[in-house]
Amino acid sequence: QWLPSTQLLNLAEINVITGAAIGILIYELGMYTWHRLMHTSNLLWRVLHQMHHSAERLDTYGAFYFSPFDMVGWTLLGTVCFSFITGLPPQSVTIVLLITNFFSIFQHANIKTPTWVGYIIQRPESHAVHHAKGVHAYNYSDLPLFDIVFGTFRNPARFVEETGFYQGASARVKDMLLFKEVDKG
């Protein structure tokens, strides 16, 4: 009963598909903001996100390789977007979560895709730029719309050669869980 009074919007009565579309846009804007912040703040990078970028190879396993602290951050983002901002119907939220999980798995897949796909959703070649050795920037959202608007969009024809930090970085789990900076070697 108390939740509707805390929501910025109360979209509980909206059509499920329309709610899912609104939910994806709001979540992806939140994701862009949070994700970019984790890349620009040394503290957030070390404590939350560097483990995900330590993987030496871009593949679907990497879509699930996060520190527990990073997972808490992403869960809080979803809670804020769906519970405190939108108040979407549960069915809409379920659709949003299924679609955004597909986005994550797809962009981490080590498969070749046509360049035009990168203007609709982030493709593996674009996400490889995000994970590129020595770069770890650009393409913060699953939807290129926000990266285009904020000037962080890259859509290369081919995969970058190297991703991650260096060979063996992803095995330094203990150091990363102790918030040590491992990306420098």
The pLDDT of residue 4: 61
Contact 53/136 with Cβ under 8 angstroms?
Answer: yes
Through-space distance between the first and last CA atoms of the chain, rounded to whole angstroms: 51
Residue 150 reports pLDDT greater than 60: yes
- pLDDT tens-digit map of 103-125: 999 999 999 999 999 999 999 99
Residues in the chain: 185
Return the domain boundaries, the chain.
Answer: 11-177
Dihedral angle, C-alpha 20, 27, 149, 113, nearest 10 °? -70
Task: Tell me if residue 163 falls in helix, strand or coil.
Answer: strand
Q: What percent of the chain has pLDDT over 70?
A: 96
The pLDDT of residue 12: 76
The pLDDT of residue 3: 60
Residue 147 reports pLDDT greater than 60: yes
- Cα–Cα distance for residue pair 106/18, rounded to 1 Å: 23
Which residues have CB under 8 Å from 170's CB, separation 6+?
A: 51, 54, 55, 56, 65, 164
- Cα–Cα distance for residue pair 45/41, rounded to 1 Å: 6
Residue 1 reports pLDDT greater than 70: no
For residue 74, the one-letter residue type is: W
Tell me the whole-structure pTM to 2 decimals.
0.89
| Angle separating helix axes 90-108 and 16-40, nearest 10 degrees | 50
Task: Give the residue-averaged pLDDT of 58-76.
Answer: 92
Note the Cα 66 to chain centre separation in Å: 11
- pLDDT tens-digit map of 6-46: 677 777 789 999 999 999 999 999 999 999 999 999 999 99
- Cα–Cα distance for residue pair 156/23, rounded to 1 Å: 28
Task: Give the residue-averaged pLDDT of 146-156.
Answer: 98
